[in-house]
Amino acid sequence: MTTLQTSVPVRQASVDTPSLWSRLKVNRNFVALWFMLPAGAFLILFLAYPLGLGIWMSFTDERIGRAGIFVGLENYEWLWDDSIFWLSVFNTILYTVVASTIKFAIGLYLALLLNRNLPFKALIRSIVLIPFIVPTVLSAIAFWWIYDAQFSIISWSLMKLGLIEHNIDFLGETNMARGSVIFANIWRGVPFVAITLLAGLQTVSPSLYEAATLDGASNWQRFRYITYPLLTPIIAVVMTFSVLFTFTDFQLIWALTRGGPVNATHLMATLSYQRGIISGRLGEGAAIATAMIPFLLAAIGISWFGMQRRKWQQGSSND
């Protein structure tokens, strides 16, 4: 910030040194401070303070309706050998990794497809966005009917076709339930990835492709050596957001399974809500929520440092 300073104070031996206030008045840093204040206050009040409060709460035994006292790491100690907590950690990681990977693959494929000259391009692009536009809870309720143990449209159709004899138990069997909620999440998340990557694709200059074609590059080579490297910054941003959204997903699970069957789809977010708000143990709920922070930081770190600092992005070799 000091480099911005234009009025360098002049050392003078004389007594008429300008007063502090008159020097401040012309100091650009001082003015800048005031301009930044609203934004800073906003961030502190609505982001830093709740986060700090949540972390503090996780060290107390606060319950709904009564303040807690400091209990140190007690909440974490109980979580450490709580099999349901570790199950929720496993579920969350599984959910995030599988859903994000598939969302990325399908999203990239759709983006490449939509980047071509298709008839009704604008219309198709807006249709792709639909799952993202529908409120999560509404789509979750729709999926809840699709997955219903007795009235599922999928089971019904397959039974009428004579392909199966019993209803499919979508949400009642552990792995089936995991697969079902992951599918619903993918359905919802693909448009975000696809449209953002499409925006990135359109910034790639066509002249690069022309040059490559003249050099005899194949389709794959053009993708591998032009599209992909130029898209990496966007991929890093999209995947960071996608991972964060998936990791902290709540509505979909809560509307579909409430963490069941037998906690097989409990994510850290839903478990935190169940313990913190439903059972009234705010301290414990906060501890589970706080336990998500390291995972989230790691996810951000991987995509940020792993994908954005590659040398070949600046044109040198990939070593």
Partner 1 sequence: MSNFTLDRRSALKAGGTLLAAAATMSADQLLGYAKAWAQASPWKPEAGAKINLLRWKHFVDSEDAAFMKIVDAFQKATGVVMNVTNESYEDVQPKASVAANIGQGLDIVWGLYSLPFLFPTKVTDMTDVADYLGKKAGGWSKAGQAYGKLDGKWIGVPVAVTGALVNYRVAAMEKAGHKEFPKDLAGFADLVKGLNKNGTPAGMALGHASGDANSWLHWALWAHGGNMIDANNKVVVNSPETAKALEYVKGLYDNFIPGTASWNDSSNNKAFLAGQLHLTVNGISIYIKAKTENPQIAADMNHAHLPLGVDGKARELNLGFPILVFNFTKFPQACKAFTAFMLDPAQFNPWVEASQGYLSPFLLDFTKNPIWTADPKNTPFRDVGETSLTPAGVAQMSENAAALITDFVLVDMFANYCTGREDVKTAMASAERSTKRIFR
* Contact positions vs partner 1 (CB under 8 A): 63-66, 78, 81-84, 148-151, 166-167, 169-174, 177, 257-264, 274-275, 277-282
Q: Which two tokens stand for residue 53?
A: 């409060």
Q: How many CB atoms sit inside 10 A of residue 46's CB? A: 10
* 3-state SS assignment for residue 60: strand
Nearer to partner 1, 171 or 193 (CB): 171
> 194 vs 286, which CB is nearer to partner 1?
286
- Whether omega before 135 lies within 30 degrees of 0, making that bond cis, reads no
The minimum distance between CB 301 and partner 1, in angstroms, equals: 32
Cα–Cα distance measured from residue 170 to residue 160, given in angstroms and rounded to the nearest whole number:
18
> Considering beta carbons, is residue 87 or 234 the nearer one to partner 1?
87
Q: How many residues does the chain have?
A: 319
For residue 84, with 0-12 CB atoms within 10 Å meaning exposed, 13-18 middle and 19 or more buried, which class applies?
A: middle
- Crossing angle of helices 174-201 and 83-114, rounded to 10°: 40
Half-sphere exposure of 137 (CA within 13 A, CB side): 1
- Tell me how far, at minimum, the Cβ of 53 lies from partner 1, in Å: 13
Taking each helix axis from N to C terminus, what angle separates 153-160 and 136-146, rounded to the nearest 10 degrees?
30
Task: Please say which residue, 82 or 226, places its beta carbon nearer to partner 1.
Answer: 82
For partner 1, the closer of residues 242 and 257 by Cβ is 257
Cβ at position 257, least distance to partner 1 in Å: 7
The one-letter amino acid code at 74 reads: E
Give 16 or 81: the residue with its C-beta nearer to partner 1.
Answer: 81
Least Cβ distance, residue 147 to partner 1 (angstroms)? 8
Nearest to 96 by CA among 292, 286, 307, 261: 292
Least separation in angstroms between residue 278's CB and partner 1 is: 5
Work out how close the CB of 179 gets to partner 1 at its nearest, in angstroms, rounded to a whole number.
13
